[in-house]
Each structure stands twice: as C-alpha cells, then as structure tokens.
Structure 1
Amino acid sequence: MKLPKFLLADNSQQPEDIFVLHTEYPRFIINLKDDEIEWFEDLSGENEQELANEMERLVEEAGSFYDKEMEGYE
C-alpha cells in the first residue's frame, strides 16, 4: 500500500487540536494549533542546519495540506 505523504488526525480527547501526520522520512506528527512536533525517527547525527531547513519546508507543506483539505469541506 502506498501511503499519502500527509494524513489528517484528530482525537476526541483533544478536540481543539489539529494534527497532521507526515508519513515519509523523517516521520512526525505536528499539532497545527501550537506547531508542536513529535518525531517518530531518531535524528541524532543528522546535519542540524540541513534538518532545520527541511523541517521548515515540511511544516509549511503540512499547513498547506491542511488548508487544501479544509477547502474541500467548504
């Protein structure tokens, strides 16, 4: 099965939070309410500047993904 790059996730215990799951390396889940990120990978040893640049891009992509998904509900 080929997973999409991003998935929306929610949790009835945290109804105000909006989660986007990134399924490719580096895998993570981001809470768009406060931009808190939980990593599913061990990123020790990675180039910190390269990782920071990649994360900035991926967070922007996650936000764009969410916006496009919400447009479909309007």
Structure 2
Amino acid sequence: MELPRFLLADNTTCDEDIFVIHTDFPRFIINLKDDEIELWDDLEGSDEEELSTQVAQYIEEASAFYDEEMEKYAS
C-alpha cells in the first residue's frame, strides 16, 4: 500500500487539536494548534543542520496541506 505523504488526524478527546501526519522520512505528527512535533524515526547519526532545515520545510508543507484540505471541505 502506498500512503499519501500527509494525512489529517483528529481525536474527539482533543477538541481543539489539529494533527497532520508526515508519512515519509522523517516520520512525524504535528499538532498545528501549537506546532508541537513528535518524531517517530530515530535520527541518530543524521546531519542535524540538514534535518532541521528539512523538518522546517515539512512543517510549512503540512500547514499548506491542511489549508488546501480545508478549502476542499468548504467547497
């Protein structure tokens, strides 16, 4: 099965939280409410500077993905 790069997730016990899951390396879940990130991959040995730049880009992409998805629901 091929997963999409981003997935939306929610949970009724976290009413105001909006989660986006990044399914490619490095896999993570971000709560767009407060930009808290939970990384799921072991990043030991990775170039921290490059990884930091990548994750920052992925956060922007996750936010854009969410905005695009919400526009589709509004239509």
TM-score (norm 1): 0.97
In the alignment, the residues of structure 1 paired with residue 33 and residue 45 of structure 2 have an alpha-carbon distance, to the nearest angstrom, of 29
* Structure 1: gaps of 5 or more residues: none
Alpha-carbon distance, 1:69 to partner: 0.1
Counterpart of 1:6?
6
Q: What stretches of structure 1 move > 2 A for 4+ residues in a row?
A: none
CA-based RMSD: 0.6
In the alignment, the residues of structure 1 paired with residue 60 and residue 25 of structure 2 have an alpha-carbon distance, to the nearest angstrom, of 16
TM-score (norm 2): 0.96
Letter in 1 for 2:71: E
* Structure 2: gaps of 5 or more residues: none
Identity %, equivalent residues: 61
SS of 1:72's equivalent?
helix
SS of 1:26's equivalent?
coil
Counterpart of 1:66?
66
Counterpart of 1:19?
19
Q: How many residues align?
A: 74
Counterpart of 2:48?
48
In the alignment, the residues of structure 2 paired with residue 48 and residue 25 of structure 1 have an alpha-carbon distance, to the nearest angstrom, of 14
In the alignment, the residues of structure 2 paired with residue 61 and residue 40 of structure 1 have an alpha-carbon distance, to the nearest angstrom, of 18
